[in-house]
Structure 1
Amino acid sequence: MEHWIGGIVGLLCILQFIQGSRVKSTTYEVIGDEKTMDIVCEASEDKGNTPIREILDIGGLSFEVADDLETLFYRGDIKMLMDLPSGPIGMQVDVFRWERSQWLPTPLSLKRESLCKALINPWELWYPIFKNIPEIEMICPPGKGHIYTLNNVSNHEFIKNMPHVDIAGDLKAVVHLSAGDLKTCVVLFFKVFKVSTN
């Protein structure tokens, strides 16, 4: 009888622990920075052998500032300047936060074996942006001369139901892309605000 009571007490303790340690769901507000138009990585970050400006032409992109003075609406063309080697496009993303006047690494990173599959996956963080590109243009991998057209694509998104992580602040994502023997680097700047935690 004592073992049975001890087992019940132990089970109740485990259930209480599980209830108290539930993963919190957080909503984040993400705002892409206008500095993102300058996608070139610094030399110290760039592990590539081909500059991104030799692969992509984003000179046709422009943005309009919304009334809230934070939201930007991008429009224009992104053009491929060269053919990519055959095979999947790999992607490694490392995220840094601006603290104490320097970019410090965060525990956030992503790795995808196939960028093409990741771009159309509705569970990926960037899906709200890429779903705005016309389906007929979503060719991946793209060939030389292919054009992606952006039409009023917002830099302002709310990402819901994410695990709670202390990530709010000014962030920088250093994105390393590789296909065959081609390697390049892209940098993106954005701000993250914690909106709510459930």
Structure 2
Amino acid sequence: MWQPEGICKRCDMELLARSLVGLGLWILALMAVSQGTNFEVIGDEKTMDIYCSAEEDQGDISFREFVDVSGLTFDVADDLETLFYNGDIKMLMDVPQGPITMQVDVFRWQRSQWLPTPLSLKRDNFCQSLLSPYELWHPILRNIPKEQLKCPPTKGHIYTLTNVSNHLFVKNMPNMDIAGDLKAVVHLSAGGHKTCAVVFVKIYAN
């Protein structure tokens, strides 16, 4: 059974989610039409509200019920936007053995509402694709010791982050109309259970 040990009051999973800058790179690649634009990608401050809305949430377990990031700390750079995260992420429960599936749907803030985009990502076996250098989570995982990359994780397992940033500059990327506020709704499923989280990024074209 996938049962929570308890709800961590300070499990601000946004500290991890904000470092998913690779998501911005994936979005840029999907919308490619021509070359030559520089982009700035920042983990948005709205990620502090990682809970999915009632309409978005299809899960039965909260993200914060099984992940403890109270061991993470961050340093603020001189630009007051860039954050560097360091410390441990601890699993509070066992994740069932077997494939973990992931579905990501991306929305853009337009006309005072979140509108769906054609962008989506699906993985039938997240663990199998975990170590691929071409996946959107690679910028995070390359900062975690390989011996810690256990998937699916078990209760008490620890992932250590080292200087994971929420801020990235990408040069000479495809020229596209993608600047603005983006929201990725992430659903993870395993062993008949499902959880939901939201990741926000801001993208600026330079």
| Pairing 1:52–2:63 present | yes
Give the aligned residue type for 1:55. F
Q: Deviations over 1:148-192 (max 9, x none)?
A: 111221111245676554221111111000012010001111111
SS in 2 for 1:129: helix
Q: TM-score, normalised by structure 2?
A: 0.76
Find the counterpart in structure 2 of residue 30 from structure 1.
41
Find the counterpart in structure 1 of residue 185 from structure 2.
174
Contact 1:176 1:186 in 2 (8 A): yes
Call closer, same or farther: CA 1:62–1:91 in 2, change over 3 Å. Answer: same
Give the aligned residue type for 1:24. S
Gaps of 5+ in 2: 1-31
More helix by share: 1
SS in 1 for 2:80: coil
| Pairing 1:111–2:127 present | no
Find the counterpart in structure 1 of residue 100 from structure 2.
89
Find the counterpart in structure 1 of residue 202 from structure 2.
191
Call closer, same or farther: CA 1:94–1:24 in 2, change over 3 Å. Answer: same
Give the aligned residue type for 1:110. L
Q: Between Structure 1 and Structure 2, how many residues are aligned?
A: 174
| Pairing 1:43–2:57 present | no
C-alpha separation in 1, matches of 2:74 and 2:49:
13
Which segment is superposed worse, 154-163 or 32-41? Answer: 154-163
Q: Could you list the runs of 4 or more consecutive aligned residues of structure 1 that deviate by over 6 angstroms after TM superposition?
A: none
For 2:72, which of 52, 61, 76 is the aligned residue? 61
Give the aligned residue type for 2:95. L
Q: TM-score, normalised by structure 1?
A: 0.79
C-alpha separation in 2, matches of 1:152 and 1:107:
32
Gaps of 5+ in 1: 1-21
- Of all paired residues, the percent bearing the same amino acid is 68
Contact 2:52 2:197 in 1 (8 A): yes
C-alpha separation in 2, matches of 1:139 and 1:163:
35
Contact 1:125 1:159 in 2 (8 A): no
For 1:151, which of 131, 141, 162 is the aligned residue? 162
C-alpha separation in 2, matches of 1:165 and 1:119:
28
Measure how far apart 1:95 and its partner are.
0.9
Which segment is superposed worse, 130-139 or 153-162? Answer: 153-162
Give the aligned residue type for 1:153. V
Find the counterpart in structure 1 of residue 14 from structure 2.
none
Q: Deviations over 1:97-149 (max 9, x none)?
A: 11222211111111111212333211122211221111121111111111111
Which protein is bigger by CA-based radius of gyration?
1
SS in 2 for 1:83: coil
SS in 2 for 1:50: coil
Contact 2:33 2:176 in 1 (8 A): no
Call closer, same or farther: CA 1:24–1:151 in 2, change over 3 Å. Answer: same
SS in 2 for 1:42: coil
Alpha-carbon RMSD? 2.1
Contact 2:189 2:195 in 1 (8 A): yes
